[in-house]
Amino acid sequence: MDLNYSDEQLLLKESAERFLKDRYDFEKRARILASETGFDAAIWAEMADLGWLALPFSEENGGLGGGAVEVSLIMEAIGRALVVEPYLASVLLAGGLVEKVGSEEQKADILGGLIAGTSRPALAHAEWQTGFDLGNIAATATKNGENYVISGKKPLVLGGPFADSFIVSARLGGDAATGPDGAIRLFAVPANAVGLEKSEVKLVDGSRASDLVFTNVSVPASALLDADADTLGEIEAAYDRANAALASEAVGIMDALMDATVAYTKGRVQFGKPLAAFQALQHRMAEMAVKCQEARGSALLAMLSADAPPAMRVRGVSGARAKIGKVSRSVAQEAIQLHGAMGFSEEMPIGAWFRRLYAIENTFGTTADHLKRYGEIIRDPAVLSGGLLREPVHQPA
Amino acid sequence: MDLLMTEEEVRFRDQVRAFLDTHLDEGLKRAERLNSSFLADPGVGLKWQAKLNDKGWVAPSWPKQYGGTGWTLAERYIFDQECERAGEPHFRGASIKMIAPVIMRYGNDAQKGFYLPRILNGEDVWAQGYSEPGSGSDLASLKTKAVLDGDHYIVNGSKIWSTLAHHATRMFALVRTAETEKKQEGITFILIDLKSPGVTIRPIRSICGTHEFNQVFFDDVHVPISDRIGAEGEGWDIAKYLLEFERGGAFAGGVLRAMLTRLHRLASEPLSDGRKVIDDPLFMARFAEIATDVDANDMLELAAMSKVQAGGNPGSVPSSTMKIERSRIRQSICELAASILGPDALRWEEHRPLHELPGTSEIDEERKVASAVYFNSRSQSIFGGSNEIQLEIIAKTLLR
């Protein structure tokens, strides 16, 4: 058991924070949001140069072999800087899934471009009725000769506007072998495929997503990602890794809110003294700090559980999303309150952090969804009473 | 970074588990389940302490040279988790966790040689003499006076909230030996034999119906100068050192998880109409929220432990966060348990200790003790530096 960051990890953290501080301030972000594309290609290229896009992928797939801890450090920095480029959507979620279920050719193709910064995949999985049940998928893929024909609707695809390919889930059907209720499979579909309609959606945190409609989109058999894998299981695992990353992003935002609130109340003088000199406000900030600490503990558990066996994974990841959802909301509300009217304006980042935390609370499951999922797991007394330390994994010799 | 035990730690855990399976008998476990106080009933605690003493496991946090285990922090954490899971009586109070570290750090060889073995074998049980009727969170305002007279101090005054002083043989106390401009400077740390003439102990029954607290009066009590710890006027530094032990020196992850598991069992028991509380989504939502709090706190404990193991310091914000959260989580669990009793919440058994009553089923007994445990839990956010003091500590760090 060791929960200390290594020197390399501390360097990564420092370099990530410095890069975004220098290159991605609040005004810069506002310009990106107001631009036509809502995406800064130069920043993305620099992220590629810094190795961020290669970070989570294994070395044999051209990556840097970073783990959940390294990813969490990037996500914390992304949270503080309110980065709108699709690191989570393209690199962690879509890229992460391709690494698990893609063939060698698919990985070379999709991950190669992603790591180089020249192309971006996005995952088109959840549908309107999917909710928190990731297996509730209605899109279909029908075998037609050597091709698959995909039809269905995929709303709110994160990273969609900036993607040149979509990793699309659909049920195999229309084939005697698989039947109409066939298994969920993933397909790589170019963004410019014939029959794919794409419309841009503005999101509550200022970022953008895509509503996708697939109408008889035909792809070759080589677009099928996972002939043998437990696709739904891999999709669930990918969402859990993304949820662990979201937990870290939220922790980065909470710390930023805390820092900003302390700085503001120290500088703002009312009734002849700084706001920070009033004990009533000091204790509210101390309560915010308590919540920031707790959230950090939860996020740590989420990241160290992201690759654990399912029950441990759900306990760590959904537990963190439930806990952090609750405490981050409170910290954000308090930050606005303690900033007074300034916190209510769009001129300060406070409101943007508040809205991003709200978006996180409603991404890949709500706070309530995660609490329910966590509750179902800990109903098992063996899980509930089990501590957090695990036995070492025995590698076969 | 990982949450993995080493192979040796797994073996250690199994060894602890096996010992507990064999030696922690049902009578001791039942007595602890029926204990509504923070610390075990002394009769029960001493019985369990004697068994652990044979094994050398009374004081996990002590260095080996003083009869402790010499375990690593990770081993102490694992030991605590296992003992809590098994339901051991909580006997490690002021003796093992408070005065012992002070004697080790500030005591002379004679004091170490005399007092430490008597703590391990249970011959001495210590009470705390910090708070006074007029001095709580503002501890340095204390007034109990000690005047040097030859080779003795003559002590006059009163200490309050002394846990289990009526069962204790000795008390460590902060006394005023000089009227100084800075009130912290005139304080001295002394050891008082509670059998001395002039000591009177008045019980204070707490809201959970148990006599655990006391007010102790000193009327010209003689304390030999050899029972002073450190130098005259050094008491405040020693007190701060001790309070750090009280605040951060223990793990709560194990006990909180064990309490949650007990609540789970209580909520899973079918009611007379066949319903189970655990199937009520309102209950489960609250239960799950608390469980996420327990996980978060456990991670903070492990992270703090990692820091210390690497030679660092957890820092005041995490330490005070843990103190605050442990108290709140404990209170939440007790409150939730007390909220599912139905009409049983109205019944009140006055007899103490409860384990002396004839046994009934485990669930019935859980229901019998739950209200008192809930009442008692309100002390969690008051003792050892109230939550408001912790918030002050955090705010000071944040705003400096």
CATH at A243: 1.20.140.10
Q: Which two tokens stand for residue A85?
A: 């480029």
Statement to judge: residues A147 and A90 lie in one domain? no
B382 Cβ under 8 Å from any chain A Cβ: no
The reply to whether residue A322 touches residue B288, judged by beta carbons under 8 angstroms, is: yes
Instruction: Out of 1.20.140.10, 3.40.50.360, 1.10.10.10, 3.60.150.10, select the CATH number for domain B251-399.
Output: 1.20.140.10
Distance CA B146, CA B154 (A): 5
Residues A51 and A150 in one domain: no
Evaluate whether residue A98 is within a structural domain.
yes
Rounded-to-integer distance, Cα A170 and Cα A137, Å? 7
Tell me whether A374 touches chain B (CB under 8 Å).
yes
Put simply, the answer to whether B306 touches A301 (Cβ < 8 Å) is no
Write down the residue that tokens 């959260």 correspond to. Answer: B325
**Residues of each domain in chain B carrying CATH 1.20.140.10:** 251-399
DSSP of A268-312, one letter per residue?
-EETTEEGGG-HHHHHHHHHHHHHHHHHHHHHHHHHHHTTS-HHH
pTM of the model: 0.96
Give the contacts of A341 (CB within 8 A, at least 6 positions apart): none
- The CA-based diameter of chain A, rounded to the nearest angstrom, is 81
The architecture that CATH gives domain B126-234 is: Beta Barrel (2.40)
Q: In angstroms, what separates the C-alpha of B297 from chain A's closest C-alpha? A: 7
Q: CA–CA separation, B230 vs B210, rounded Å? A: 35
Residue A360 shares a structural domain with residue A257: yes
The Cα–Cα gap between B338 and B31 comes to 19
A130 and A112 belong to one structural domain: no
Q: pLDDT value at position B248?
A: 47
Q: Give A308 to chain B, closest Cα distance, Å.
A: 11
If DSSP codes are grouped into helix, strand and coil, which group holds residue B358? Answer: coil
* A140 DSSP 8-state letter: E
Q: Which residues does residue B145 pair with via DSSP β-bridges, in sequence order?
A: B156, B176
pLDDT reading at A41 higher than 90: yes
Taking CB atoms and an 8 Å cutoff, what residues of chain B touch A334? none
Q: Give, for B246, the enclosing helix (H) or strand (E).
A: helix B235-248
**Residue B235: which residues within 8 A CB-CB, separation 6 or more?**
B174, B175, B177, B187, B188, B189
**What part of A 282-311 touches B (C-beta under 8 Å)?**
282-283, 285-287, 289-290, 293-298, 300-301, 304
Q: Does A122 have pLDDT greater than 60?
A: yes
Same-domain check for residues A69 and A101: yes
Say yes or no: A34 and A165 in one domain. Answer: no
A28, pLDDT greater than 50: yes
What local confidence, expressed as pLDDT, does residue B314 receive?
87
Q: Which residues of A touch B317 (CB under 8 A)?
A: 289, 293
Secondary element (H or E) of residue B398: helix B387-399
Q: A178 pLDDT exceeds 90? A: no
The token pair at B317 is: 């914000």
> What is the arithmetic mean of pLDDT over A282-311?
96
Instruction: Dig out the tokens for B7 from the structure.
Output: 């192979």
Instruction: Assign B341 to helix, strand or coil.
Output: coil
Contact state of A389 with B3 under an 8 Å Cβ cutoff: yes
Chain A CB contacts of B77 below 8 Å: 389
Q: Can you give the CATH number for the domain in which A41 is found? A: 1.10.540.10
State whether B321 and A293 contact (CB < 8 Å).
Answer: yes
> pLDDT-derived band of residue A177, with 50, 70 and 90 as boundaries?
low
HEC string for B127-158: EEECCECCECCCHHHCCCEEEEECCEEEEEEE
With an 8 Å Cβ cutoff, are B303 and A297 in contact?
A: yes
Residues A19 and A90 both lie in one domain: yes
All residues at 6 or more sequence positions from A335 whose CB lies less than 8 Å from its CB, including other chains: A257, A258, A260, A261, A288, A343, A350, A353, A354
d(CA B84, CA B257): 8
A157/chain B closest Cα distance in angstroms: 30
In a domain, residue A2? The reply is no
The Cα–Cα gap between A25 and A18 comes to 11
Total domains in the fold of chain A: 3
Per-residue pLDDT tens over the stretch B44-103: 999 999 999 999 999 999 999 999 999 999 999 999 999 999 999 999 999 999 999 999
DSSP annotation string for B179-242:
--SSGGGGEEEEEEETTSTTEEEEEEE-TTS-EEEEEEEEEEEEEEGGGEESSTT-HHHHHHHH
Q: Mutation test of the interface with chain A: which of B262, B392, B398, choosing the one with the most A Cβ atoms within 10 A? A: B398
Supply the pLDDT for residue A175: 56
Among A65, A93, A119, residue at a domain's last position: A119
Do both A140 and A79 map to the same domain? no
pLDDT of residue A151 exceeding 80: yes
Radius of gyration (Cα) for chain B, nearest Å? 22
B2: nearest CB among A1, A298, A379? A1
Residues of chain B with pLDDT > 70: what percent? Answer: 98
Do A238 and A380 reside in the same domain of the chain?
Answer: yes
The C-alpha R_g of chain A, in whole angstroms, comes to 22
Element (H, E) at B22: helix B7-23
| Chain A CB within 8 Å of residue B2 CB | yes
pLDDT digits (tens, 9 = 90+) for B341-359: 999 999 999 999 999 999 9
Q: Is A307 exposed, middle or buried (0-12, 13-18, 19+ CB in 10 A)?
A: middle
Single residue among A169, A192, A223 that ends a domain in this structure: A223
In a domain, A110, yes or no: yes
A384 contacts in chain B (CB < 8 Å)? 257, 260-261, 264, 291
- Helix locations, chain A, DSSP H: 7-23, 26-34, 41-50, 68-81, 96-101, 104-106, 112-116, 231-267, 279-305, 310-339, 349-361, 367-378, 381-385
Interface of A with B in 9-68 (CB under 8 A): 9
The enclosing domain of A190 has a CATH number of 2.40.110.10
Q: What is d(CA B111, CA B119) in angstroms, rounded to the nearest whole number?
A: 12
pLDDT above 90: percentage of residues in chain B: 93
A176 and chain B in contact, CB less than 8 A? no
Q: Both A297 and A377 in a single domain? A: yes
For A297-330, how does the pLDDT look when each residue is reduced to its tens digit (9 = 90+)?
999 999 999 989 999 999 999 999 999 999 999 9
Q: Is the pLDDT of residue B337 over 50?
A: yes
CA distance B367 to B332: 17
Q: What local confidence, expressed as pLDDT, does residue A181 receive?
A: 59
B332–A contact, CB cutoff 8 A: no
CA separation for the pair B289, A4 (Å, rounded): 27
B398's CB contacts (< 8 A; 6+ apart) are A258, A262, A282, A285, A286, A289, B317
Cβ <8 Å between A392 and B306? no
3-state secondary structure of B348: coil
Q: What is the mean pLDDT of residues A174-180?
A: 52
**Minimal Cβ distance to B4: which of A258, A387, A392:** A392
Is a pLDDT exceeding 80 seen at residue B105?
A: yes
Closest CA to A99 of A66, A127, A74, A128: A66
Please report, in angstroms and rounded to a whole number, the separation of the first and last CA atoms in chain A: 23
With CB atoms and an 8 Å threshold, state whether A381 touches B261: yes
Of A4, A286, A289, Cβ closest to residue B306: A4
B85 in A contact zone (CB under 8 Å)? yes
HSE of B253 in the Cβ direction (CA atoms, 13 Å)?
A: 29
* Statement to judge: residues A245 and A379 lie in one domain: yes
Nearest CA in chain A to B82: A387
CB contact under 8 A, A385 and B321: no
Tokens of B284: 């489960």
Give residues 79 to 118 of A whose Cβ lies within 8 Å of B: none
Whole domain around residue A87: which residue ranges?
7-119
| b/e code A135-173 from CB counts within 10 Å (16+ = b) | eebebbbbbeeebbbbbbbbbbbbbbbbbbbbbbbbbbb
Question: pLDDT category, A229, cuts 50, 70, 90?
Answer: confident
Centroid of chain to Cα A361: 11
Q: Which helix (H) or strand (E) holds B393?
A: helix B387-399
Q: Is A163:A37 a contact under the CB 8 Å cutoff?
A: no
Q: Are A53 and A117 in contact (CB under 8 A)?
A: yes
**Among candidates A289, A295, A319 on the partner chain, residue whose Cβ is nearest the Cβ of B317:** A289
Taking the Cβ of residue A218 and every Cβ of chain B, the question of whether any pair is shorter than 8 Å is answered with no
The minimum CA-CA distance between B163 and chain A, rounded to whole Å, is: 29
Same domain for A142 and A274: no
Contacts of B270 (CB under 8 A, 6+ apart): B276
Mind telling me how many Å the CA of A262 is from chain B's nearest CA?
7
> Residue A97 and residue A167: Cα distance in Å, rounded?
9
Closest CA to A79 of A304, A288, A246: A246
Phi, psi for A19 (deg, rounded to 5): -55, -50
- The residue length of chain A stands at 397
Task: Kindly state the average pLDDT of the residues A27-34.
Answer: 96
> Distances from the Cα of A28 to the Cαs of A44, A151, A239, in angstroms?
14, 39, 30
Q: Identify any residues that bridge with B156 across adjacent strands, giving them in sequence order.
A: B145
pLDDT at B249 (0 to 100): 53
A380 to chain B: closest CA residue = B264
Point out the residue among B3, B388, B392 whose CB comes nearest to the CB of A1: B3
Through-space distance between the first and last CA atoms of chain B, rounded to whole angstroms: 31
Question: Which residues of A fall within a CB distance of 8 Å from B324?
Answer: 290
Of B78, B257, B395, the CB nearest to A385: B257
pLDDT of A397 > 80? The answer is no
Question: Which of A258, A293, A381 minimises the CB distance to B264?
Answer: A381
* Mean pLDDT computed over every residue of chain A: 95
Using the predicted structure, report yes or no on whether residue A396 has a pLDDT greater than 90. no
Residue B157 near residue B210, CB atoms below 8 Å:
no
Cα–Cα distance list, A323 to A51, A330, B300, B334 (Å): 31, 11, 14, 20
**What pLDDT score does B243 carry?**
75
Helix (H) or strand (E) holding A155: strand A147-158
Mean of the pLDDT values across residues A246-257? 98
pLDDT at A393: 80
The shortest C-alpha distance from B308 to chain A (Å) reads 10
Nearest CA to A301 out of A287, A310, A312 is that of A312
- Nearest C-alpha of chain B: how many angstroms from A52? 20
Look up residue A5 and give its DSSP letter. P
**Interchain contact, A294 vs B398, CB within 8 Å:** no
3-state secondary structure of A259: helix
The confidence score (pLDDT) of residue A273 equals: 97
Tens of pLDDT, residue by residue over B353-392, are 999 999 999 999 999 999 999 999 999 999 888 999 999 9
Which one-letter DSSP state was computed for residue A182?
P
Report ipTM (2 d.p.): 0.95
**Region A165-172: what's the mean pLDDT?**
95
On the CB side of A34, CA atoms within 13 Å amount to 6
- Residues 255-274, chain A, touching B (beta carbon < 8 A): 258, 262, 266
Q: Which of A119, A150, A173 finishes a domain?
A: A119
Query: How high is the pLDDT of residue B385?
Result: 86
